[in-house]
Structure 1
Amino acid sequence: MTRAWVRELAGWLSAAAVSLATTSAVASSARADLLFRDGDSMVVALLARSLLSGEPLDWAMSSVLFLPESAAFTALDAALPLEANALFAISAIVNLLALYGAIRLAAGRARTGMAPVAWSVVALAVFGVLSMTDVSASREAMDLASLQLTTTYYSATVVGVVVTIGIVRRMVDSCELRASPLIALGLVALVSTLSNPLYAVWTTLPLALLLAIASISPRLRTRTPVIIVALLAGTTVGFLSRIPLAAWITKTGIGYVQPAQWHESIDYYARLVGERLQSPLGVLGILITAALLVVAVVRTVRPRHPGSRLVAAMAWVSPVMVVVGAIALGTHAARYLQPFAFAPVLALVSHPQALRVGERVRRAAAGLTAVLLLVIGGVSIPRLADAATRPDADLACVADWVDASGRTGAGQFWTVRLPKLHLSDSSRLVQVDHQLNAYAWLVNRTDFTVGEVSFLVEDSQTVPWDLPQDVLPARVVDCGRYSILDLGTETLPLGPQRS
């Protein structure tokens, strides 16, 4: 019999190959804009740069603090002497590997007749296929799986959700309830909620509901209340831990709640689904998700081990509750519905039964599959490297000009974020609105102490300027899709901060 550590190592190597192939495909598609160039996607990298530079930190964040994501990216940035795009690509691979580890935890312990490692790799591969069906360059698209590859769109929260399910499954399947998994459960809930309150909606509410229903079983009657308490306690402490960080949180989750707009919310999400259905790959992705949801429901109603039924139930209950909640609260953000991308794949590991074939056939199939995945992963490396190192002459033009000028300029959020990251000193580009007010959103507010700027950067995403005085640039520097309005010796004062 193959030793356990050999199986686990083979699983991680296969997962690495799947992660490489997935990242390579996404980075070579229109979705690369979200991975490498989107304004929102810069926040973690900019925060990591601030941490490593030792500059004063006075960040204006959203309700999400990106704490695990920032810690991971900062470690990569400190350890690897690479450009930002290369770090984004490596971070995407790390995010998928972290998801594999969480899925493997949710698959349960290895035992006779079960193949949790193999099915965990299959689950990650299916998630990778879903990511490859995402073809839109827009952040507002129902292309959800590929968001896991970004540093910004809640990758750590996704991992935290699956880890939580895995810990609870292990406790439900165990013969006795020990303190260590309860502590681990509380810590994961605490950190995840502290970083992103969506964890409570994606995990705490549906999981607590399912555990309460499971307590009807005599076997779980005394165990599930303790697990619920640990989960709720961790989530509650996570919310309380956000209070000392209130100065960094410029918009709380309450600001996103608009229940009166539930009609508009239905129209919004329906339109996004309709847009996804216009692409053959989008149709394929929806069909795969639908099939996984059916499997999840079937495995919930069939008599299995309690842990197996719990994982299967979370695979469909969480997405359904999230959609109902998102509409009831009148939200308008596709990223809130990510459980529809990652939760259904858990149906594949809810009951990871080994195929009923001979041991030799199983070993041969596993070996062949592992070799094939490694070859695919190896072939994907040059393609990913090409996507991550593809030159951007327009961006380089702006960055070189700003660095050489030694002066400080300004630009609007969607325009300035990418050039800001690629400067030798990111504070040389200040984030403003169209009236030149300091725009304190996902940025270090110490940038605004400069008080005035002597040039403006604009592109097609720039809202027409409404400046406090008539401004005639001394010259306009053409940088392709960017233009630099050089004011020469003239300066413009920054307006008050807003978010």
Structure 2
Amino acid sequence: MTRFALWGALCRRLKTGQETGQGAGALPDDAAVGATSARRSLLVRAGAPSLAPKAVEPVKNFTDAVPGWFAETVGAVAALALALVAVAHLDATDRSWMLYYDSDSVLPALVRGSVLSGQPQDWFLSAVLFIPEMGLYFVLGGLGLGVKGTFALSAVVNLVLFYASLRFLCGLTQPKMPRSTRIAGALVGFAALMFLTLLEDSPRGDTFELASLLATTTYYGMTVLASVGATALAAGLSSAPGTVDRRWQEAALVVVCGGPR
């Protein structure tokens, strides 16, 4: 019997069973169930489409489909844009005095100029406060942007580093949250600081205008970064799942907080 003939016979048999119902020739319930299963198997063999419901795939969130590197890049670019706006504001207001001419701000430039001119070095300062700032200024000074250009670039780098420290904090304190949520949290905190920076325009350093001090080449910026980093490491130590994670976090915490006094 061909496939089409078998298909026609099965259809007529099903129709006859529906018309007769539970008459004299009707099968018991168990037998009817078995017959129905057999008929479905024959229908499948004959080429009939399957009547079984297909499994529905779960709908994925849009953020889950975004690669991690792309999300991190978007967050970094957004932070860079906010930092550029904040530094442009400082440069256009009287707050530029703290950025370019304050005695603490110009110290890295003085040290670099003295070293490059070959003068004997006899500085008396707190190493834990000024060595990180000087190291960053020496690196950026090699780009040849001039003193004020290097100060401005250092301000942008300091602000972006603050976003990176917030991102580090979100990563250690909320490791189970989606990556996009952690990036958004770091950006919200960073945007709040940039907003406060836009409200500051005083040329003096003894005021409550503290947010913009993060952009200077003084110990203010690096102290804030170290504070956020230490908080992140301490929070990570309290929830580190394994000894390996604890070891590197403990070592990093010693480096951040255990410098010379």
**Following the alignment from structure 1 to structure 2, what is the Cα–Cα distance between the partners of residues 161 and 131?**
19
Cα deviation, residue 58, structure 1? 0.4
Residue 43 (str. 1) matches residue 107 (str. 2) = yes
Match for 2:224 among 154, 158, 163? 158
> Structure 1's 113 and 104: CA in aligned 2 closer, same or farther, altered over 3 A?
closer
Q: 1:66·1:154 contact (CA, 8 Å) conserved in 2?
A: no
> Which residue identity is paired with 1:48?
R
Q: 2:200·2:212 contact (CA, 8 Å) conserved in 1?
A: yes
Cα deviation, residue 158, structure 1? 1.0
Write the mapping of 1:79-98 to structure 2, written as runs, cut at 5 A. 80-98=143-161
Q: 1:22·1:128 contact (CA, 8 Å) conserved in 2?
A: yes
**Following the alignment from structure 2 to structure 1, what is the Cα–Cα distance between the partners of residues 177 and 120?**
56
Match for 1:13 among 65, 72, 77? 77
Match for 1:137 among 183, 203, 210? 203
Write the mapping of 1:100-111 to structure 2, written as runs, cut at 5 A. 100-108=163-171, 110-111=175-176
> Which residue identity is paired with 2:154?
S
> Structure 1's 4 and 58: CA in aligned 2 closer, same or farther, altered over 3 A?
same
**Following the alignment from structure 1 to structure 2, what is the Cα–Cα distance between the partners of residues 156 and 10?**
25
More strand by share: 1
**Residue of structure 1 equivalent to 2:3:** none
Cα deviation, residue 33, structure 1? 0.9
* Identity %, equivalent residues: 31
Cα deviation, residue 62, structure 1? 5.5
SS in 1 for 2:144: coil
**Following the alignment from structure 1 to structure 2, what is the Cα–Cα distance between the partners of residues 89 and 150?**
9
**Following the alignment from structure 2 to structure 1, what is the Cα–Cα distance between the partners of residues 227 and 117?**
32
> Which residue identity is paired with 2:210?
L
**Residue of structure 2 equivalent to 1:187:** 255
Residue 70 (str. 1) matches residue 134 (str. 2) = yes
SS in 1 for 2:258: helix
**Following the alignment from structure 1 to structure 2, what is the Cα–Cα distance between the partners of residues 165 and 13?**
25
Q: How does the TM-score come out when normalised to structure 2?
A: 0.69
**Following the alignment from structure 1 to structure 2, what is the Cα–Cα distance between the partners of residues 62 and 171?**
29
Q: 1:49·1:74 contact (CA, 8 Å) conserved in 2?
A: no
Q: 2:96·2:203 contact (CA, 8 Å) conserved in 1?
A: yes
Match for 1:128 among 194, 210, 216? 194
> Which residue identity is paired with 1:84?
V
Residue 57 (str. 1) matches residue 121 (str. 2) = yes
Match for 1:116 among 179, 182, 189? 182
**Residue of structure 1 equivalent to 2:96:** 32
Q: 2:129·2:219 contact (CA, 8 Å) conserved in 1?
A: no
Cα deviation, residue 187, structure 1? 0.9
> Which residue identity is paired with 1:77?
G
> Which residue identity is paired with 1:160?
A
Q: 1:52·1:74 contact (CA, 8 Å) conserved in 2?
A: no
> Structure 1's 167 and 50: CA in aligned 2 closer, same or farther, altered over 3 A?
same
Cα deviation, residue 39, structure 1? 2.6
Give aligned pairs, total: 192
**Following the alignment from structure 1 to structure 2, what is the Cα–Cα distance between the partners of residues 101 and 86?**
23
> Structure 1's 111 and 10: CA in aligned 2 closer, same or farther, altered over 3 A?
farther
Q: How does the TM-score come out when normalised to structure 1?
A: 0.37
Cα deviation, residue 155, structure 1? 1.0
**Following the alignment from structure 1 to structure 2, what is the Cα–Cα distance between the partners of residues 111 and 93?**
31
Q: 1:107·1:116 contact (CA, 8 Å) conserved in 2?
A: yes
> Structure 1's 120 and 36: CA in aligned 2 closer, same or farther, altered over 3 A?
same
> Structure 1's 55 and 65: CA in aligned 2 closer, same or farther, altered over 3 A?
farther
**Following the alignment from structure 2 to structure 1, what is the Cα–Cα distance between the partners of residues 131 and 253?**
18
* Structure ID, larger Rg: 2
Cα deviation, residue 55, structure 1? 2.6
**Following the alignment from structure 2 to structure 1, what is the Cα–Cα distance between the partners of residues 150 and 134?**
12
> Which residue identity is paired with 1:99?
F
> Structure 1's 82 and 113: CA in aligned 2 closer, same or farther, altered over 3 A?
closer
**Residue of structure 2 equivalent to 1:485:** none
More helix by share: 2
SS in 2 for 1:107: helix
